[in-house]
Amino acid sequence: MPLEAPLDPVALRVAELNTRLANHGAMAVLRHAMSDAQVGRIALVSSFGAESVVLLHMAATIDRHVPVIFLDTEMLFHETIQYQEMLAEQLGLSDLRRIRPDRAETARRDLQGTLHRSEPDACCTLRKSEPLDRALGTFDAWITGRKRFQGGARTGLDFFEAGDDGRIKVNPLAHWTRDDIADYMLNNRLPRHPLVRHGYRSIGCAPCTSRVRDGEDERAGRWRGQDKVECGIHFKDGKMVRTTG
């Protein structure tokens, strides 16, 4: 059996991919990422939040056997768990991996379940970053649903990013607008997260998510009143990993 060709350094691969696919659409980028040997073994990471169904549907259309990593922080809304189960069945996702925090570490570092109040970044590390690191152990790349219009550190997103962990992040929807998301959901008759109709436009853990008022940014309801704008999986050593563009 011939040996597989070694992968080029991640930064070189990312630069070449962004150049080659700069003028391609989201589906083409996603299809390429899921099949290019230079991207490597890939998984889709989904929160099953307000807009997650779009990327999940696109991936399932290409290959419903793609590994999908769902981070169950054990602090999610009950509606999110129900939505995840419904979508997995409806889209025929055959390799959905529900990842939870390490029980021993949770007992040691957040026995009362109140760490999010005093140290939200540490809570994200415990319940998101560390479980994701373990789940991605055998993968070379992962797919995210982040978009430029979400603002903050996301405004400079490219289709491909070089992660500090040596993996490629793929952002097929980076250039999509709110209207693009709404149109795709409508045209494909995709079910919305049940909390969207109650004013939740970006949905994470229940204690750290609130309704968004008219005129507010859609992520205004995440960690409201705190100096925190990104979820734990885009942190490294407790610091936000900024994107470039």
Q: Which residue has the tokens 């992520």?
A: 219
Q: How many CB atoms lie within 10 A of CB 92?
A: 10
Are residues 147 and 157 in contact, defined by beta-carbon separation less than 8 angstroms? yes
Q: What is the 3-state secondary structure (H, E, C) of 151-186?
A: CHHHCCCCCEEECCCCCEEECCCCCCCHHHHHHHHH
Take residue 120 and report the two structure tokens written for it. 């939200």
Helix 26-33 and helix 52-62: axis angle, to 10°? 60
Q: Given the DSSP bridges, would you call strands 168-170 and 160-162 parallel, antiparallel or unpaired?
A: antiparallel
What are the Cα distances from residue 97, in Å, to 43, 89, 194?
A: 10, 13, 22
What are the Cα distances from residue 200, in Å, to 37, 42, 175, 210?
A: 38, 30, 22, 7
Residues belonging to the active site: 231
Contacts of 199 (CB under 8 A, 6+ apart): 211, 212, 213
